[in-house]
Chain A
């Protein structure tokens, strides 16, 4: 059994990276390995946008990540500085920055790049999408 950390850099829509990452995560679990965390960086932070609202017959990656993480108890970490620059804000970030709204899914936690680096240190293997 190996411990994985997965990095997602692709947007919630317009890029297949996030979908491939999710499929890879499902395969990793199915093979009996462990995923320590999924870290969202660059445009990947948009996967946390709870307001993403695709047509009902298309995959909703925000919902798919949320369900996957909940079922497997895997932390989803969003890089906070990448997220704030792209308009993904948690309730706390919104308060601190005087914003009227917030849109970060509760299943996603805001974290720093330090969590990615310490995650890389602990894991056997990192895979980026």
Chain B
């Protein structure tokens, strides 16, 4: 078992990066790796509720982020600085998470064996 950190830093729209990152996160967890997911910058937008990806030609994979706890992804970190920069509140995000400082995120990355960025 390895500690894998998956960082989401892109918007859910404009590219399929988040979708392919989510696929990898869920698969890694189902292969019993210890997975930490970290949302920074526009990656936070993946967690906003009431989105309609179908309107931009995408399957509604965004709802699947809610399945992360079912896959035993227990550590879900959201960057505090990014929340402020995007003028969002923790309550606007549809998945249970920890709001993490830069220092805490840095520590989570240090503690991981591998870091993958999407």
Contacts and interface: CB of A to CB of B under 8 A. Distances in A.
B31 A117 contact: yes
Contact of B116 (A81, A112, A128): A128
Contacts of B114: 120, 125-126
Interface in A82-129: 82, 112-114, 116-118, 120-121, 125-126, 128
A82 B20 contact: yes
A115 B16 CA distance: 21
Interface string B98-111: 00000000000000
Interface string A36-74: 000001100000000000000000000000000000000
A116 B24 CA distance: 9
Interface size on B, as a range, is 10 to 19
Nearest to B21: A42
Interface residues of A, number: 16
A63 to B, nearest CB: 26
Interface in B23-68: 23-24, 27-28, 31, 33
Given A126-B114, A128-B116, A128-B117, A117 B16 contact: no
Given A7-B116, A42-B16, A113-B23, 11 more contacts: A41-B20, A81-B23, A113-B24, A113-B28, A117-B24, A117-B28, A117-B33, A120-B2, A120-B33, A121-B33, A128-B116
Interface of A: 7, 41-42, 81-82, 112-114, 116-118, 120-121, 125-126, 128
